Amino acid sequence: MSRAIVLNAADNVATLIDSGRAAEPCKLQGEASLTLTISSDIPFGHKVCVRDLAAGAEVLKYGQVIGRASQAIRAGDHVHTHNVEAARGRGDQTGGAK
């Protein structure tokens, strides 16, 4: 079983402090204490979703917005660049406009 830390009660992601294996349980620590099942392998230090997120939902860590879900994300899913968009430094979206 792997462990993951929830930093703020509002957070919808937790940070793994072990490597997580698909279909195995992950125990949440810190500001949450449930155990969830990981849907795919998650490397040490990467994030797991702790609450289902709709596409476009704000991703919260430290109780702050760290980006937006670019697709629906289920609790237990790996949360990273493949399903989260940054909101800042996005010259690609403004077409280079200042």
Q: Binding to other proteins by residue 94, rule CB under 8 A?
A: yes
Backbone phi, then psi, for 36, in 5-degree steps?
-125, 165
Both ends of the chain: CA-CA distance in Å?
48
Among 25, 35, 41, 45, binds other proteins (CB under 8 A): 45
Which residue from 44, 55, 72, 74 is in contact with other proteins, where contact means CB under 8 A?
Answer: 44
Per DSSP, the residues of 41-86 read -B-TT-EEESS-B-TTPEEEETTEEEEEESS-B-TTSEESTTTEE-
By CB under 8 A, residue 9 contacts other proteins? no
Cβ at position 75, least distance to other proteins in Å: 17
The binding site for other proteins (CB under 8 A) comprises 5, 7, 15-17, 29, 43-47, 59, 61-62, 64-67, 79-81, 84-98
